[in-house]
Amino acid sequence: MPFSLSQKSHIISNLKMRKDHFYYGWVVLAACLVINIVSVGMRLSFGVFFKPLEVEFGLTRATTSGIFSAYLIICGLVGIIGGWALDRYSPKKVFILTGLLSGLGLLLTSQATALWHIFLSYSLLLALGTGSTFVIVMTLVSKWFTQGRRGLALGIVSCGAGIGMTIMPPIANYFISAYDWQTSYLVLALIAFFILIPCALLLKRSPGEVATSVSLEKLAATTPVSDKEKHDDEPKQPSLAQAIKTRNFWLLFFMMFLWAVCSYIVLAHIVRHAIDLQISSGQAATVLTIIGGISIPGRLLMGRLSDVKGSKYASIIYALILIASMLWLIWARNLWMLYVFAVPFGLCFGASAPLVALLIGDAFGTRYLGTILGVLETGWASGSAFGPVLAGYIYDTNYNYALAFVIGIIAILITLLLIALLKMPNSRRELSAVQ
């Protein structure tokens, strides 16, 4: 017999209380946090490798950016596969595979002697390993935590990107300065092997998924359900095919594209831009570190703000702060001004991950979140690939980044309009059978 949402919630809660009082979701959250620290930290460390690769292979800035852009495009495609895989297979198996691919990609990158080697090992293999991280961890955590806690939980797990951005670039820069870029990539490969795979072993499916795949009939027989609950219809959650036909889907797609264009113009080029301003490479790397560090409270604050005010309201605040920070960047000419820029930009960059997951969850529910988020992630990947190449081309043409920063501002102004057009469900009912 079919079960309503409230029946499932009641059954799952009853089952968990019979077993113990500890909620395993916190273990999953901690493991996902560490996975995010390593995977996203590696992704956002590319800025410190920008100049060494440019010099080593005699590249233009557009071509050097192309390495990162190709990686991000493939990440977007892999995100679709990752979301699909999580909806069907164990998260443990999925992340063991991605950990192996990440370590292998970095290991081979450390041995590269030609540009095509870099495109094969970094842009392809590393993307196969890390490309689905965001989709999988955000989907998995969304399924383990309900609406009242989901914003905070997503904020916590997305802090991994900020922590990783704070830790990984300095580590990478240290080994580049002390040895060379090849040694630095070798160290990152060892980190991937010895951290990602052990964390993957801790992951499990959420109780809601387990309960729907085992005998709910048997559980229901011993679980009293009120007459009201028996007639409580479960909210309809659209599949990917249904979601694609909605206006919200395409608004979210282009919002993610434009957010990423602005964000990755900065993330890929801010270190090189600082060096152009006669700032040392070590000090320039600290700008990226500050962005990563400040993104941590940004993720938590925006996650909590979304729980209280709604994801749409939080997105408007995000866009306004980001526009202000980009205006400041245009006029920044020394290290302290870049540090001032890094604070609001870091807050906004941190907020983007939980906001994206919350907006999609609010619009479509969590039943097919992995698949829908994976497809929408191609919008983010496309923007994050387009932004760095565009900025590199603009620099190669004009010998400065001013126009690129202006384009970033225009992109966020457009997102404000798209946010206003979003229509979220009127009800804040639970769309998941997770405690």
Q: pLDDT value at position 208?
A: 63
Q: pLDDT value at position 427?
A: 39
Q: pLDDT value at position 65?
A: 86
Residue found by looking up tokens 């059978």 in the block: 433
Of 32-46, 91-105, 136-150, 300-314, the poorest mean pLDDT is in 300-314
Residues 140, 32: Cα–Cα separation, whole Å: 9
Instruction: State pTM to two decimals.
Output: 0.67
Of 37-41, 193-197, 314-318, 429-433, the poorest mean pLDDT is in 429-433
pLDDT, the chain, mean: 81
Confidence check: pLDDT of 327 > 90:
yes
Residue range 280-305: mean pLDDT, rounded: 81
Q: What angle do CA 250, 253, 254 make, to 5 degrees?
A: 90
Q: pLDDT value at position 431?
A: 38
Q: Other C-beta atoms within 10 Å of 17: how many?
A: 10
pLDDT bracket for residue 88 (50, 70, 90): confident
Listed by start position, the domains of the chain span 6-224+237-421
Pick 6-224+237-421's CATH classification: 1.20.1250.20, 1.20.810.10, 1.10.357.10, 3.10.129.10.
1.20.1250.20
Q: Tell me the C-alpha to C-alpha distance, in Å, between residue 318 and each of 149, 253, 306, 363.
A: 20, 17, 11, 19
pLDDT bracket for residue 205 (50, 70, 90): confident
Q: Tell me the C-alpha to C-alpha distance, in Å, between residue 206 and each of 90, 140, 143.
A: 10, 7, 6
Q: What is the pLDDT of residues 215-259, one digit of tens each?
A: 444 444 444 444 444 434 445 678 888 889 999 999 999 999 999
pLDDT bracket for residue 210 (50, 70, 90): low
**Cβ partners under 8 Å of residue 297, min gap 6:** 347, 350
